[in-house]
Structure 1
Amino acid sequence: MVKRKKFRARIWYVALVCLLVLAVIGCSQSASPVAQGGTQPESGGEPKLGGTITIGLSAEPDTLDIHKTNMSASEVVTRLIGGALLSMDPETKEVKPYLAESYSISDDQKTWTFKIRSGITFHDGTSLTAASFKATYERAMAPETASPGAGPLLGVIESISAPDEKTLILQLKEPSAPLLSYLIQPNVTQPLSMAAIEQYGKEYGRNPVGVGPWKFESWKTGESITLVRNEAYKWAEPFAKVQGPPMPDKLVIKFIKDAQTTIAALESGSIDIASISAKEAKEYRSNGKFEVLEATKLGVNFIQMNLENEILQDLRVRQALNMALNKKAIIQADQQGEGESAFGPLPRKMFGYDPAVETYGYPFNVEEAKKLLEDAGWKTGAGGIREKDGKPLSLQLLTAMNSQGIPLIQSMLKDIGVEIKVQNAELGSVLDLSAKGQFDLNVLGYTDLDPDILYLFMHSSQIGGLNHSHIQNPQLDALLEKSRTVVDPVQRQQIFMEIQKIAVEQAYWIPYSEEKTFLAVNKRVHGVKLDAMYGIMLGESWMNQ
């Protein structure tokens, strides 16, 4: 199997809940998968050409070279600059050609052939051909590139050929069910201009060139990135209502780290679009200057448990921790009740989700949690904290999250006799400490298109990467491996049902919520949509200046 250790591109920490949604779930020029209710109402007047839309972003990208970054902030920009071989129809969920005009997969599922659309050019004027994709993917996969995101995703490819300008052939090492989902993500698999890479060398990440609706113009370090309309753009996804260039002249993406400063910028009109918290969403819904868009993220918030800790090696303890949490109360504290309880590792809207998890998942039951700990030999000691063999039932909770939910979790676990010592750290430190196994419990979350994300979190080959729990379960490993090579959706669904049941029965995680995200949009900007996976969609946007 293809191993993808230390691949972090698709994980986000719950510490980012109150930061800009764009930094978490990206941007798209047109409609995209699993769109939910996040659409501005039809407004009066005809769409107008011109104007500048200004977006607040909570972090500055490290680079705009998609092969050199795993920052979600970078994805915000690179999605707008590029395109992908395929796309997904937001209505039918059908995968359709985008920069390819057609594609086919061989009977053994190992030879994927794409016919590339004619007439597409990069922002530097060079033509897009099959050789462009070949060179791009080979660069991503090359050891010297050391790509933290795109490279590992394409690792299932054995070889790439481009026998002519329009034909791209991917020869796989083995059938790959998740590959299709990677080829619809421009932030991961968009073609790059090799001419631009040769011209700019190591500075390409500050001078990106793609084929998308927006062209890179400038980057003011510590301040903003500016994109301009690609006048030549006429190759949008087939289902996009706007097939030509965008209507606004420019997009300015401002870096504003502080949430209160972001709110002040919205109020003053210096930015048009920004993420807001659930509490702020309630207030902004009655603010006549703004529309509030919302979507449920295609992911789960959860607490991960380190099985290297002797206390947590006891299944009864892990089950008790699951039963101790009142998920609805946590959602109320963190998200003003704007979210849903999670009972397993996959969200409701994702392929592979098994609704039965809501019946066999752990309910909130304090008395049963206490009984499990008693059965495991943990007796109530001084101050209500349980003890066993003279040692207290004390665990460290590692988090970059700063919200009311953390002390609430701490209090709920104390109610069953578990002492929780909270260790706050910067996001990067949380990630590094978790990968090194230097934690007992940590607070995490993810968004993704495909349930293959569970391979990264739970396969034993990913210990040292995202398998922070140090899960080593041969049965689970075998199912996760099989899920990657079985392409029949019915069979694959059954496999993930088994995966979820094992993960829940073994109580590797404490899943607790599916979170909503909110976007405030100044009413002078029209046609904006919010998508559960891709975030803000600007394909139909225009300014009323």
Structure 2
Amino acid sequence: MTTRSKRSAKKLGTAAILSFSLVAAACGGGSSDSTPDDTPDATEAPDATTAPDAEEPDAAPANTADAAVVIDESDVVEEDAGPVAGGTLRYGLEADVNGINPATSSLSSPGLMMGNAVYDTLAAFTPDGQWVPYLAESFTPNDDFSQWQVKLREGISFHDGTPLNAAAVQTNFETQRGDPLVGLAVKPFFPAENATELIDDLTIQFNLAEPNVVFPGSLAGQLGMVASPAWLAAALVDPTLNQEPVGTGPFIFDSRSQDSITKFVRNDAWWGGEVYLDAIEFIPVTDPDTRNDLLFNGELDALQTTNPASVGDLQAEDGFQNVIDENGEESFGMINTAVPPFDDIRAREALTQATPLQNYRDLIGLGISRAADQSFVPESKYYNPDVVQQGDNPERALELVAEYCADKGTDVNTTLGETTTCTDGRINIELQWSGPAVVQTRIAEILDEGWKNAGFNVTFDELPQDEHILQTAIGQYNVVTWRQFGATDPAQDNVWLMCRTIGGISLNWPKFCDESRDALLLEAQASQDDATRVALYQELQQKINADFTYIFFLHTTWDNAFGENVRGVCDRLTPEGEATQCATGGRTWFSSVYFAA
């Protein structure tokens, strides 16, 4: 890739210089965030050098990021006088979420963004994708990486005065593990008993189901957000408290009106140092054009977007800063393999071949987001150049549809109702997405145009994001538009792929089980040899391509855009002074942010 030229931008902070390794794009496209079609990032996860007292074996492999974040710094303004206190940052989000509880809420990107204000995570990432201790002081594995001791920093309290200790972390873990949805990302990877042990007041040991050399990376996102144990207990009794989070973070919950404004105010006693902003207001605006207009008109100070047209407008407009991340997440069509017609690979391949890939990429990607064939960008060492996304082949699709309907046309789809899977030699399917949003409706129309001309009868189902996620988790769908993958270390994407995360509620959303694929994933997460891991993940891409469970459209282009007077976005440091990741998956952090005087 080569870095795109930009016509506007201002300086975000000194750490920005560390992240100029991302190069960008030819044609292609990304998911349209106007209807947040993203998954709950429940396993947001995956070293420049770790903290001096963090004990790591020299043999552990580095978790090198596929590509770094690009900071748009053309027309850089002169340095300001430095951090000053005051002001309320108004941040436009692509949607709202059903709660801000890391143990029980299905946090997609907007929820994780709000979580970054109120919670701290046990680990963090550096700009080059290495995990480092953050709320934790150190991570120490045993010889085969099947056990990890996590030592916490001393003297930290939650916003309600409860002390942070190992017992609090254990309570968070057990609450997550016991939740019907979030627990799906936890239980399969730990033994049923003795998953954790309290070593002393500040040290907890995690006992894993299998060796994992990159386990701390999984504690840099939702699974590593630590909430007050007293508040967690109260929220289990009164779920309305899920809207009023209590953490150790740089901001304290103030008020929340769902689908309107969620406000956090400065934590003057934050353990990590001085916090500059008086407050942050998060405002969900589901339409990306409206979100852009609010920023352009000064009614927002920042926003997140993946809509390529919006990204292009933001980059072309003078006076705004853009943090561009192409490394996190791919957009794709996702197929439910558990019920007819897509329990048959012929139907899955037919839909794949019928997909109008080039139209989608041209009309939605707009030459801004890049075409995707797999879950790695071409710059990644894990990228497999032999894998090509199939599509734009209606002749082959029609052959497969005719064969399928002649053989199984009377099968009944009991998941979506008592409907036959074929009518007059055409396969009946439903396309589901989250909305409302103009762009997602346009996506549905583009897909339908290709599919109906290649033997499919398509009905539409547009749902609010939280219901869309739930319906997908319980398998109440045929095909959905989705956004996923892109973990800093690919081992953290195992939760979406393994047989063990299939159930009545699944995080292996397509409900596709391949034991040989599971064995490959476990071997990769246990290996300390980089070449071995590369070969295994390249083999994984071949398997995914051959199974026809995902139709890759685009590498998502995330833009976190800021007004020209916002500073410090990329200046967050660990307590040991290491720079941390500026943005990932549409999320930024707030402890170092301030308004220029």
Residues 298, 350 of structure 1: 8 Å contact kept? no
- Deviation (angstroms), 1:220: 4.4
Pick closer, same or farther for the CA change 1:19–1:250 going to 2, 3 Å. farther
- Deviation (angstroms), 1:212: 1.9
Question: Aligned match of 1:479 in 511, 516, 520?
Answer: 520
Alignment of 1:447-458 (within 5 A): 447-449=485-487, 450-451=489-490, 452-457=492-497
In 1, the alpha carbon distance for the partners of 2:265 and 2:38 equals: 19
Residues 279-288 or 307-316, more deviating:
307-316
In 1, the alpha carbon distance for the partners of 2:507 and 2:155 equals: 41
Question: Could you list the per-position Cα deviations for residues 246-275 of structure 1 after superposition, in whole angstroms to 9, with x for gaps in the alignment?
Answer: 322221223444555534432442221123
Residues 20, 275 of structure 1: 8 Å contact kept? no
Residues 139, 216 of structure 2: 8 Å contact kept? no
Aligned twin of 1:189: 224
Question: Aligned match of 2:585 in 530, 533, 543?
Answer: 533
Matched, 1:17 2:17: no
Alignment of 1:481-500 (within 5 A): 481-483=522-524, 486=527, 488-500=529-541
Alignment of 1:380-391 (within 5 A): 391=425
Aligned twin of 2:390: 362
Residues 300, 446 of structure 1: 8 Å contact kept? yes
Alignment of 1:191-340 (within 5 A): 191-197=226-232, 202=238, 204-220=241-257, 223-235=260-272, 244-259=273-288, 261-276=290-305, 277-296=307-326, 298-308=328-338, 311-312=341-342, 314-340=344-370
Residues 17-26 or 470-479, more deviating:
17-26
Residues 338, 512 of structure 2: 8 Å contact kept? no
Residues 302, 512 of structure 1: 8 Å contact kept? yes
Matched, 1:510 2:551: yes
Residues 558, 585 of structure 2: 8 Å contact kept? no
Q: What letter matches 1:505 in structure 2?
A: A
Matched, 1:396 2:430: yes
Matched, 1:103 2:150: no
In 1, the alpha carbon distance for the partners of 2:244 and 2:452 equals: 52
- Deviation (angstroms), 1:105: 0.5
| SS in structure 2 at match of 1:169 | strand
Count of paired positions = 508
Question: Could you list the per-position Cα deviations for residues 91-128 of structure 1 after superposition, in whole angstroms to 9, with x for gaps in the alignment?
Answer: 3x222222222221111322212332223333344443
Residues 113, 588 of structure 2: 8 Å contact kept? no
Matched, 1:74 2:114: no
Aligned twin of 1:5: none
Pick closer, same or farther for the CA change 1:153–1:493 going to 2, 3 Å. farther
Aligned twin of 1:240: none
Question: Aligned match of 1:153 in 186, 210, 216?
Answer: 186
Q: How high is the sequence identity, in percent, across the aligned residues?
A: 20
Alignment of 1:123-202 (within 5 A): 123-141=159-177, 143=178, 146=179, 148-149=181-182, 152-153=185-186, 156=190, 158-176=194-212, 179-185=215-221, 187-197=222-232, 202=238
- Deviation (angstroms), 1:481: 5.0
In 2, the alpha carbon distance for the partners of 1:226 and 1:199 equals: 21
Aligned twin of 1:11: none
Aligned twin of 2:460: 422
Question: Could you list the per-position Cα deviations for residues 10-55 of structure 1 after superposition, in whole angstroms to 9, with x for gaps in the alignment?
Answer: xxxx986125899987999xx9966410455653222232222111
Matched, 1:408 2:446: yes
Residues 369, 554 of structure 2: 8 Å contact kept? yes
Q: What letter matches 2:216 in structure 1?
A: L
Residues 123, 220 of structure 2: 8 Å contact kept? yes
Q: How large is the Cα RMSD of the aligned pairs?
A: 3.9
Residues 376, 383 of structure 2: 8 Å contact kept? no
Q: What letter matches 1:422 in structure 2?
A: F
In 1, the alpha carbon distance for the partners of 2:347 and 2:511 equals: 17
- Deviation (angstroms), 1:330: 0.7
- Deviation (angstroms), 1:178: 5.9
| SS in structure 2 at match of 1:135 | helix
Pick closer, same or farther for the CA change 1:303–1:20 going to 2, 3 Å. closer
Aligned twin of 1:353: 382
Residues 513-522 or 310-319, more deviating:
310-319
Residues 230, 246 of structure 1: 8 Å contact kept? yes
Q: Between Structure 1 and Structure 2, which shows a larger proportion of strand residues?
A: 1
Pick closer, same or farther for the CA change 1:124–1:39 going to 2, 3 Å. farther
In 2, the alpha carbon distance for the partners of 1:442 and 1:60 equals: 20
Q: TM-score, normalised by structure 2?
A: 0.73
Aligned twin of 2:371: 341
In 2, the alpha carbon distance for the partners of 1:391 and 1:49 equals: 67
Question: Could you list the per-position Cα deviations for residues 275-312 of structure 1 after superposition, in whole angstroms to 9, with x for gaps in the alignment?
Answer: 35322333333433433332225122222233355554
- Deviation (angstroms), 1:438: 4.4
| SS in structure 1 at match of 2:112 | helix
Gaps in structure 2 of 5+ consecutive residues: 1-29, 49-63, 408-420, 571-581
Aligned twin of 2:478: 440
In 1, the alpha carbon distance for the partners of 2:493 and 2:183 equals: 14
In 2, the alpha carbon distance for the partners of 1:35 and 1:373 equals: 42
- Deviation (angstroms), 1:458: 5.4
| SS in structure 1 at match of 2:517 | helix
Gaps in structure 1 of 5+ consecutive residues: 1-13, 236-243, 380-386
